[in-house]
Structure 1
Amino acid sequence: MIKKISVVLVLLTGMLLSASVFAQKTIVEKYGKLSVKGNYMVGQYGDTVQLRGMSLFWSQWMGQYYNSDVVKWLRDDWKCTVVRAAMGVEMDGYLENPDTEKMKVMEVVNAAIAKGIYVIIDYHSHEAQKNPAAAQRFFSEMAKKYGNIPNIIYEVYNEPLQATSWNKDIKPYAEGVITKIRVYDTTNIIVVGTRQWSQLVTEAAANPITRQNIMYTLHFYPGTHKQELRNEAQKALDMGIALFVTEYGTCDASGNGNFSPEETALWYEFLDAHKISYCNWSIADKPETASAIVPAASPYGGWADYDLTPSGKLVRDDLRLKNGPIFDSLVKTSTGGVSKKKSKTK
């Protein structure tokens, strides 16, 4: 009799676990805690995961968009599965105003957690290795606060300059920050920048960081970076590392001029073929090609078509096309993570 009861309990437990997996109300409930396996990001339930979303602009210059309304709009209307909080470090950023810039990041992180999507905590610097103690202090605090939450991805160095060395500068800096993060967060993914504005990914692949759940940053602007950079990325993948495009544009590397939808499409094809996650640069109303929204666009989302730049329209269409079916697969409830609010634009 006891044996029969045990069998029934095991069956009921399995059914309940299966039901919890399939009754997913948010993106994070769908994929759970992320990890790295070979070239791929994988979910808690065995999925190969490709996140697509938007990056915010330097926090010290576009802080008006660092709010929960924007995060909600990016989830509900743009269908973002990830957002990136690009905390400016130098140039009146975190180093000069640590509490102000940190609070902006935390508002975005808290909103992403509440909305059930992933969020990248980005240390947006070109020279982070010059002050490793500041980065270690920041990421220790973030990991202590959010380390038990599966929504979190850490990006410890946005774009190291061409003059830096992977072996002497970037890797030792990253290892120091990773050590501090892992005191409080032993599993969430950490993304590490690579030399020459996060392009020379084969250098990292030749001497990778020997820790678990590490990915490497690849950035591209298709008006400048074409097949030669895709070849670099392919070589790095063949060498066994995992890449995350935490930032890309639709124009040239300056962020302004040479809008390149055709070359962007070639990049999308490459990224999708390899299940590489990507975030577009950026949610900003700066009058330049890379901005997704026009000058004076609302700081609270709710953007209509006329509020979007050509780049914003291109990126939004891609996100809605590819991520829309993922959101459609989630359970819709009046109190769950998927909003029933209709989008203003079609």
Structure 2
Amino acid sequence: MRRWWLLLIALLLAPVAWGLPAAAPAGSPVAAHGRLAVKGNRVVDAQGKPYAVHGMSLFWSQWQPRYYDPATIAWLVRDWRVTAVRAAIGGQQGGYDTQPEAETKRAEAVIDAAIAHGIYVVVDWHAHQPRPDDAVRFFSHIATKYRGVPNLIYETYNEPLPEHGWATVLKPYHAKVIGAIRAIDPGAFVVAGTRSWSQDVDEAAADPLPFANVAYTLHFYAATHKGELRSKAETAMQRGIALFVTEYGTTAANGDAPIDATETRTWWEWCAKHGISYLNWSVANKDEASAILKPATQGLSGWSEAELTESGRLVRTHLRALR
């Protein structure tokens, strides 16, 4: 009889021992929708139905690390009602290039908090220069630790610059980094950055990557980018690729004033029409208009309306209305 009890206990503990992902909390976005994928020019859930996430991006991890904290993620879930967060892990400029262990721990803190709350987490290699070896090292670690976890979305390159050609620089870069991730986790959902600060999505559509389950990054800042960028994005979708707005702002492209609430709402409506996910830049108390917190705000959570910037109030109201 004792042998049977030991066998039963071993079977119950097997998922933990084998590193299998734990079930998402009941009623959470991940519990309802599972791992994301790409079907045609749409992002879909585990049932193959179109699904979009909405939420917040953290600021560069090396410059505003304090918000890479479980308390911040918990507050965004409870009060802002986000279905996704983005860990913007600085790859260069004093980030992973000089302190890889610290940046990896920040990423893991956000990932673990997202898993605990059953929301999605965009793990973003936040860089402007193509240095694939560091990205491969970082993502290989993350993919190994979180293999098969449905919450994860891998963003392999935040904002390539205009001089980084799609065919000559970015396709080889993505092939190396995505190849490393997929060698560990074949089902990983990936979002690939595009040329010119992730705006030249039409180029990617004309010459897509040789991988399934890949969406392409589109970034916009409402006071700068308007109908012309939407037209470019529509051309890309007509050519068959899926888009994912891993970062957008209510402001000008430099992250500062003015705030264009009208154009921001136009973008929200456009994204809803096309089933496109979007995350706002950024959870920060930096003295710039795109930050959601005023510079004097010190808490990691529990922010009052008086502690939010104009952009913060606009985005919070919108996110709360979605759920």
TM-score with structure 1 setting the length: 0.85
Which residue of 1 is the match for residue 118 of structure 2? 116
Which residue of 1 is the match for residue 227 of structure 2? 227
Q: Name which of 76, 88, 100 aligns with 1:74.
A: 76
Residues 219, 246 of structure 2: 8 Å contact kept: yes
Distance 2:188 2:296 in 1: 36
Q: Following superposition, which runs of at least 4 residues in structure 1 exceed 3 angstroms of deviation?
A: none
Residue 46 (structure 1) shift: 3.2
Alignment of 1:209-248 (within 5 A): 209-248=209-248
Amino acid at match of 1:53: G
Identical counterparts, % of pairs: 47
Amino acid at match of 1:95: D
Match of 2:105, SS state, is: helix
Residues 54, 82 of structure 2: 8 Å contact kept: yes
Residue 132 (structure 1) shift: 1.3
Which residue of 2 is the match for residue 12 of structure 1? none
Match of 2:256, SS state, is: coil
Match of 1:202, SS state, is: helix
Q: Name which of 92, 95, 111 aligns with 1:93.
A: 95
Which residue of 2 is the match for residue 59 of structure 1? 61
Distance 1:31 1:300 in 2: 29
Alignment of 1:1-346 (within 5 A): 24-127=26-129, 129=130, 131-322=131-322, 324=323
Distance 1:63 1:174 in 2: 27
Residue 24 (structure 1) shift: 4.1
Distance 1:231 1:285 in 2: 33
Amino acid at match of 1:310: E
Distance 2:107 2:227 in 1: 34
Residues 39, 48 of structure 2: 8 Å contact kept: no
Which residue of 1 is the match for residue 15 of structure 2? none
Distance 1:299 1:86 in 2: 20
TM-score with structure 2 setting the length: 0.91
Distance 1:73 1:139 in 2: 27
Match of 1:224, SS state, is: coil
Residue 25 (structure 1) shift: 2.1
Match of 2:311, SS state, is: helix
Amino acid at match of 1:321: A
Distance 1:176 1:115 in 2: 32
Distance 1:161 1:198 in 2: 8
Residues 205, 239 of structure 1: 8 Å contact kept: yes
RMSD: 1.2
Residue 47 (structure 1) shift: 2.6
Match of 1:163, SS state, is: coil
Amino acid at match of 1:155: E
Match of 1:60, SS state, is: coil
Residues 85-143 of structure 1: CA deviation (Å, up to 9, x unaligned):
0001111100011001111111000100011100010000000x2x2111111111110
Match of 1:218, SS state, is: strand
Distance 2:199 2:42 in 1: 19
Residue 43 (structure 1) shift: 1.0
Distance 2:184 2:278 in 1: 26
Residue 296 (structure 1) shift: 3.1
Match of 1:45, SS state, is: coil
Amino acid at match of 1:28: V
Amino acid at match of 1:96: T
Amino acid at match of 1:89: G
Residues 206, 239 of structure 1: 8 Å contact kept: yes
| Number of positions where the alignment pairs a residue of Structure 1 with one of Structure 2 | 300
Residues 65, 299 of structure 1: 8 Å contact kept: no
Structure 2 residue runs of 5 or longer lacking an equivalent are 1-24
